[in-house]
Amino acid sequence: MSSKKKTILIIGTADTKGEEIAYMKNIIESMELQCLVVDIGLSGKPLFVPDVTSDQVAAAASSTVQDIRAIAAEGRYEVACEVLARGASKIVADELYMTGAIDGVLAIGGSMGTALTLMSLRNLPVGFPKVLISTVALSDYVHPYFVKSDIILVQPVSDFFGINQWSKRDLKRAALAIASVVKEEETLEGGNWVGITGIGWLGYTPHIKKGLEAKGLKVTVSHSVSMQGGILEQLIRQGVVKGMLDLCPFEITHEIAGGACHSQNRMEAAVEMGIPHVVGPGALGVFTMKPMDMPKFAAQGRFTIEHNEILGTAKVSMEEMVETAKVMASRLNKSKGPVAVVIPKQGFYVYDSPGKMYYDPEGRKAFIEVMRDNLRSDIEFIVLDCHIMDPEYAEKALEVFLRLSEGVI
């Protein structure tokens, strides 16, 4: 058995956050782990000698610290940030991770340091331990679009200006989080993983999940109002998820209507990788947003209602239903593997039923017709005379997937 200690990488600005980095490094090393430090500082001399200097980071991006400083001095901070982030990402993801030199990553930053380190973190595989302690960890600036992965976010209560009682507590929490995860990390079992997308307004998941597991398949369920859809796309590209029942491509409507889209460019990974793929219209006809944004959508003449304290909903227009069908068909038409579309024409979610607030037979009819007209002719298109909440829909979607995946996974 190898006696090599597991290694955690800390990435941050060793000039402005040197004291904080050193504090977390000492905590991690006290837990019988090794530490490497990558410095992405530009403004001054680091507090200590890092393992990877900012000069090396700049060189990895085919630049120099002096050149990057000159770009920043011109006011082009976003360009300077992009160059430095590209160099850091190359070292962290393409070199240290790929060679097995590190077992986890801890990043620290304010707004600039967060922007710099997020590229490195999100370019690491889903499942690889990664923690970010940031003054803007929980804010509108750290949108899921910039996270795109399973990063543990730690929100400190005060800014990083040296060590005090509060900062010690928060920095220790971040250090213990990554150290504990790395020390106790368990390798996931292999096997044939299948993804299902859905939300609480849909009832097909239990039946389909049970049916897949009965065939010896492993199932991961993605909550479609979150960033889990984007993470699922990454798992498909990583080759972990080998089949997909994308029955709730909810995020696509959000791209079109302007709602709170936490996972963009959905449905593309399964198409690119050519895995068995069954698609449905779960929850199409409604989109979500922050409650404070509801007045904006109400002013457009839409029906809106608050779902809970953190989430509001609004009705999708006929034009947006048509555009959603076109976008879905366009993406599916690029499929390299077996794909089928299964549509329940009586309703796409629990509130799309007679007497319910989002009942929309006209929108459904338009969606089905446009989807059929725009879909590649060899893609199987099945329309059922049932509601998506009916057992018939779950049974058919499962049956079709098992047929498409037979002999493939």
Q: Are residues 201 and 178 part of one domain?
A: no
Q: Are residues 304 and 225 part of one domain?
A: yes
Domain range enclosing 16: 7-184
Give the alpha-carbon dihedral of 13, 14, 20, 26, to 10 degrees: 130
> What are 252-280's pLDDT values in tens digits?
999 999 999 999 999 999 999 999 999 99
Q: Are residues 201 and 164 part of one domain?
A: no
Q: Is residue 14 part of a domain?
A: yes
Number of domains composing the chain = 2
> What are 279-318's pLDDT values in tens digits?
999 999 999 999 999 999 999 999 999 999 999 999 999 9
What mean pLDDT is predicted for residues 153-173?
94
Q: What angle do CA 97, 103, 107 make, to 5 degrees?
A: 80
What mean pLDDT is predicted for residues 222-233?
95
Q: Are residues 358 and 250 part of one domain?
A: yes
Looking at residue 73, its pLDDT comes to 85
Does residue 223 have a pLDDT over 60? yes
> What are 50-63's pLDDT values in tens digits?
999 999 999 999 99
The β-bridge relationship of strands 241-246 and 218-223 is unpaired
> What are 178-195's pLDDT values in tens digits?
999 999 987 777 789 999
> What are 88-122's pLDDT values in tens digits?
999 999 999 999 999 999 999 999 999 999 999 99
Looking at residue 3, its pLDDT comes to 61
Q: Taking the CA atoms of 326, 327, 331 and 334 in sequence, report the sign of the dihedral they define.
A: positive
Q: Are residues 84 and 211 part of one domain?
A: no
Q: What is the maximal distance between C-alpha atoms in the chain?
A: 70
Does residue 45 have a pLDDT over 90? no
Counting residues of the chain whose pLDDT is more than 70, the rounded percentage is: 99
Q: Are residues 153 and 25 part of one domain?
A: yes
Q: Are residues 239 and 113 part of one domain?
A: no
> What are 67-83's pLDDT values in tens digits?
998 998 888 888 888 89
Q: Are residues 155 and 298 part of one domain?
A: no
Which of 126, 155, 184 terminates a domain? The answer is: 184
Looking at residue 85, its pLDDT comes to 92
Which of 184, 216, 246 terminates a domain? The answer is: 184
pLDDT band at residue 1 using 50, 70 and 90 as cut-offs: very low
What is the overall mean pLDDT for the chain?
95
Q: Is residue 2 part of a domain?
A: no
Looking at residue 329, its pLDDT comes to 98
CATH number at residue 360: 3.40.50.12030
Looking at residue 80, its pLDDT comes to 86
Nearest 5°: phi and psi at 339? -145, 145
Burial label for 30, CB within 10 Å (0-12, 13-18, 19+), is: exposed
CATH number at residue 134: 3.40.50.12020
pLDDT band at residue 162 using 50, 70 and 90 as cut-offs: confident
Q: Are residues 135 and 235 part of one domain?
A: no
Which of 156, 184, 212 terminates a domain? The answer is: 184
